[in-house]
Amino acid sequence: MRLLTTIVASLALAGLVARGSAQDQSFREEPDSVAVRQGETVTLTCAIDNVAGIVQWTKDNFALGSDRELPGYPRFTITGDVNRGEYNLVVQDTLLEDDGTYQCQASPTENQQGIRSQNAQLTIYLPPDDPVIEEGSSVSVIAGQPKNVTCRADNGKPAATLTWWKDGQEITEGITYITEDAGEKRQNGVSILTLNPSVDDHGKVLTCRSSNPAMDGNKETTTQLNVEHTPVVVVQSNPPLVEEGSSVSLSCESRANPGEVNYQWKKDGVVLAGENGQVLRLNNVRREDNLQVFTCDATNAVGTNSANITLSVQYGPEPLKTTEQVIVDRGTSATLVCQWSGNPSPTIMWAKKGSSSVLGTGDTLTFPIVDQSHSGAYECTAVVPGSGEDSREVVLVVNGPPIISSFEVQYASSGAEGQIECLSSNSPPPSRMAWTWNGIMLDTGTEGRFTAEQRDVHGGRLSVLTVSKVQAADFADYNCTVWNRLGLTSKIITLRQKEPLPLAAIVGGAVAGLVLILVIVLLVFVFCHRRRKKQGASNESITRLEVRDGQETPPKEKVEIIHRDHEAAKDKVPPPPPQRKYYITADYDDRDYSSKTSLGAPPPWTPPGGTYQDYKNGNLYSNPYNNYSSYPAVSEHSYERASIASRASRASEAQKKPRMMTHV
C-alpha cells in the first residue's frame, strides 16, 4: 500500500517543472529546519493559499502520504485548518530514525503547476556516554617537557563538546579535537590536550568536561598532575641592605620533586670552593662588593636550577610587571597589576589618568564590581625616597551591551540617494547589526532600493542603510538593532526630508551681502580720506630740535619732535636740565623767516660772540637780518618757542632745513 501511494504521488508531481503558466496555489508559510532532543514533539509548519492539488509531506524524498492520519506512521499527523490551507506535520515522541529532510508539496492540476516547499532539516539530538581520561586518575609529567593527555565521550549526536580545566581555570591552548563515526548517525568526541607543565602545576587537578545539546548539564572526569621538577631556588640576604664593614648571610632555599638536593655557591660566575651548604656567610663586606652577584646552584635527580642575589643595590623604581590592558565584562571584578622593584622597596600609588586623587596603593588595584564608567587609563606611580619616582599606565576596558551614538533624526532629499547611519561605539564589538522597517529586516546586502553595508571606523562599527532615489514613503522610522555577546540595543532613527532653501531667503541673502559690500567700500573711502587730511595737517607741525651738552653732536643724533597741538606739546616736553641755557638757530638763508612764523622775528638774543652754528653746512656766520647788541639769558622753558609750527607752504622746506636749538 505504501509503495502504491509513493508511485501515485511521484506521478502526480511529475509535472512540477513542465508547466510554465502562472501559479494560483502558493505557499503562505513554509517549514523551517529544527533540532530537538529524542523523545520531544516537533511541528513542521506548512500553509498554502488557493490549494488545488493534493498536499503531502516527504521525508528524504520519500512520500509519507496525503491522509491527515498518515497510515503507517502512527507518530506522524497532519494538523491545521484545511479551509485555511494549513497542513502542519506533527511528529510525536521523536526517535533517531525521524532525523532527516522534510518537504511539503502540492501536486499539479490540469490548470496549475505543482509546488514544493523549501527543505526542512529535522535533527534529533542524543546524549553521549560519560567522559573518560585514558591516562587514568593520575598523570606523571616532568616540568618543561610536553605531555599528551586524552579525553573521550562516545556515542553522541552530535559528537560531545569536550573542554579542559586546570584547578577551575579553563585551558584554551594546546588542544586537538577530533570526531569518530560510531554508526547509526552517532559520533565519538575525542580531545587531546598537549600539556607544557610547570613547577606550579604539581598536585593540580585536570578536569575534562563533556556536553552536547541533548544534555541538561555537563559531565566531567578528573586526573591529578604529579610534576617532577628541578629545584625551585630562592636566595635571601640577612640583613637585606648591607652596611660597609658589617657581615651578611645569604641563604639558599629550594623546593624540588624529588626532594633530595645538593648546593654550590658562585660569586660573579666563579665557583666558591668549599661553599656547598645552604648558607653563605660574608664577613667585613666592603663597598667593592656592591652590585656583586652571588649564585646558588641546587641539584636533584631531575636536574640543576639556580638563583641569584645582588648585594646592597639601592636604586630608583624599576617596572617588573604591568598589565598594559585589562578587559572585563560589566558587573564583574577587575584587577590592575603594576609591579616595581627598588631598594628600598618603592611606595606604589594608583590614580586615574588626569586626576590627583589616590585610588589605592600596592602592586594591584581591584574594583569589586565595574561598569562602563570605570573604563579609562590608570597610572601607577612608584616612589623610592631619595631615588626618584616613575609611573606606568594600565588601561581598563569594561565590556557592556551595545551603545548606539547616531543622530535620532537624519535627512535626505527626495529623488536623490539617501543614507541613514547607525554607529555602535563600545566594547565588545557588535556581533550583528540589522535594520528593520516596514516588516523588512536587513543586515547587509540589498533589498529593493535599500542597501545595507557595514564597516569598521574610528570609534566603533558603522552600519549604513542607503536608499536609492528616495520617495515620499521612505521618510519614516527605521529601527537599528545592534547585538553583542552582552546584549542588544535598538534605536529608532527617523529619516526626514531635507527642505530646500526658500527663494526669498536666497534673494534676501544676496541683497544683504550687496549692502554689506557697499557699506565696507564706503567705510574704506571715509577712512582713507580722513587719513590723507591728517597726514596733510601733520606736515604743518614738523619741527626739529637738537640738544647738545657742551660739545658738538653729529647731525645723525638730531631728535625729531612732531606735534599737532602746540599747547599740548608744552605739557609733554620735559623741562631742561638745571643750569642749562639755550639759543635758537635757524636757516637764515630765508629772508622772510621772521614773517613766516606766528611769533614774528626771532627772540632778541644771541650766544656770546653773536654767531650762529649752521649744523647743516658746518659754517659760523652772523645773522644779517637781526643785529641786536645784547640778549637776555634764556629761561628753562624758553626753548619751547622752537616748537613753532610752520605754515603749510613751509612744511616741505622745514623738513629739509630743520630749525635747531643748541645747548651751551
- Check pLDDT > 70 for residue 640: no
- Give, in degrees to the nearest 5, the angle at Cα 93 between 87 and 99: 75
Give the residue with greater pLDDT, 413 vs 638.
413
* Sign of the dihedral through C-alpha 15, 19, 23, 29: positive
Percent of the chain whose pLDDT exceeds 90: 57
pLDDT band at 342 (very low <50, low <70, confident <90, very high): confident
Range in 132-146, 169-183, 274-288 the model is least confident about: 274-288
Q: What is the pLDDT of residue 318?
A: 78
pLDDT of residue 474 exceeding 60, the answer is: yes
Model pLDDT, residue 574: 52
| DSSP secondary structure letters along 507-542 | HHHHHHHHHHHHHHHHHHHHHHHHHHHHHHHHGGGE
CB atoms within 10 A of CB 374: 16
- Look at residue 505 in the predicted model and tell me its pLDDT: 63
pLDDT tier at 118, thresholds 50, 70, 90: very high
Highest mean pLDDT, choosing among 261-275, 282-296, 644-658: 261-275
The predicted pLDDT at position 24 comes to: 79
**Angstrom distance (rounded) from CA 593 to CA 611:** 17
For residue range 560-605, list pLDDT tens digits in order.
444 444 444 444 445 555 544 444 444 444 444 444 433 444 444 4
Comparing 33-42, 221-230, 308-317, 557-566, the range with the smallest average pLDDT is 557-566
Q: With pLDDT > 70 as the criterion, what percentage of the chain qualifies?
A: 75
Give the position of cell 564597516.
455
pLDDT per position as a tens digit, 430-449: 999 999 999 999 999 999 99
Reported confidence tier of residue 23, pLDDT bands at 50, 70, 90: low
Output the average pLDDT for the chain: 80
CA distances from 53 to 18, 22, 88, 113, 160 (A): 15, 15, 16, 9, 44
Higher pLDDT, 621 or 359: 359
Can the peptide bond before residue 624 be classed as cis, meaning omega within 30 degrees of 0?
Answer: no
The secondary structure of residue 157, as a DSSP letter, is: B
What secondary structure letter does DSSP report for 330? T
Across 174-188, 308-322, 618-632, the highest mean pLDDT is recorded for 174-188
Question: How is residue 566 annotated by DSSP?
Answer: H
What pLDDT, in 10s, does the model give residues 492-543?
Answer: 999 999 987 666 566 777 788 888 898 898 888 888 888 777 665 555 443 3
- H or E element that contains 8: helix 2-12
Q: Please indicate whether residue 112 or residue 579 has the higher confidence score (pLDDT).
A: 112
Question: Global pTM?
Answer: 0.40
Residue 546, pLDDT above cutoff 50:
no
Residues 6 or more apart in contact with residue 593 via CB below 8 angstroms: 586, 587, 602, 625
Q: Name which of 147, 157, 155, 148 is nearest 131 in CA terms.
A: 155
- Higher pLDDT: 630 or 459? It is 459
Phi, psi (deg, nearest 5) at residue 527: -60, -50
By mean pLDDT, which of 46-50, 193-197, 304-308, 381-385 is the weakest? 381-385
Among 242-251, 370-379, 570-579, name the most confident range. 370-379
pLDDT band (50, 70, 90) for residue 119: very high
